[in-house]
Amino acid sequence: MPDSQTNEALTSSKLEYESAIGLSQHVPQAKTISEMVLDAFQTAKESEEIRELRAAIRLAQDEHDDDKAYELMGQLKRLKDAEAADSAALADLGTQFPISRILSSYKNDPAFQELVYGLALKVLNQTHQAISNPNTAKSKTTRARKEAEVYTISKDGQSVSLPLRT
């Protein structure tokens, strides 16, 4: 599929999704599941190495070891630069090949399988829970209606009834 068709399909699917969510066409459990799927793919995770370096920098700063903190900050900058270069290379790869081909090349990769099957398991569990317990939806609770109070005002033989709305 050429990039222009992919972009049109993405725009169309995204608009349809946002419209469906906005119109409340689906039960809350379905919305929760769809948001979970989107979160799985849109969450920008920083690498474990970056998190470890940040923690080490904080520790060095807490210990007032400026030399070590400065050295670790240099490592952090080099790592971030390398990740930025990786992102640029991936963006370039995305312009050369359709996403379906890129994804299919990862089908036997253990990390990719972990991501896909982990997401499939979450969807399976959430769907099972939504179907098994339909009454646990986050819906508005209905309160018992009481008779509206009516006040009657009379003057010179004429009376007017005024219902009190709450």
pLDDT value at position 70? 92
- In this prediction, residue 81 has a pLDDT band, given cuts at 50, 70 and 90, of very high
Average pLDDT over residues 35-54: 79
Q: How far is CA 140 from CA 24, 28, 109, in A?
A: 14, 11, 44
Average pLDDT over residues 99-128: 85
Beta bridge partners of 154: 159
Q: Which amino acid is at 132?
A: S
Helix and strand counts by DSSP (H, E) for the chain: 6, 2
Residue 149 near residue 163 (C-beta atoms within 8 A)? yes
Q: 146 pLDDT exceeds 70? A: no
Range picked from 50-64, 101-115, 139-153 for highest mean pLDDT: 50-64
* Residue that is written with structure tokens 């819906």 in the block: 139
Mean pLDDT of the residues in the chain: 80
Average pLDDT over residues 57-84: 91
* Residue that is written with structure tokens 């790592």 in the block: 79
Q: 143 pLDDT exceeds 70? A: no
Q: 77 pLDDT exceeds 90? A: yes
Report d(CA 27, CA 72) in Å as an integer: 49
- In this prediction, residue 45 has a pLDDT band, given cuts at 50, 70 and 90, of low
Q: 4 pLDDT exceeds 80? A: no
Classify 153 as helix, strand or coil. strand
Of 102, 107, 72, 76, the C-alpha closest to 90 is 102
- In this prediction, residue 56 has a pLDDT band, given cuts at 50, 70 and 90, of very high
Give 162 or 15, the one with higher predicted confidence: 15
pLDDT value at position 1? 46
Check: pTM over 0.75? Answer yes or no: no
pLDDT value at position 78? 93
Give 146 or 54, the one with higher predicted confidence: 54
Q: How far is CA 111 from CA 31, 79, 141, in A?
A: 27, 21, 43
Query: What is the distance of C-alpha 115 from the center of its chain?
Result: 15
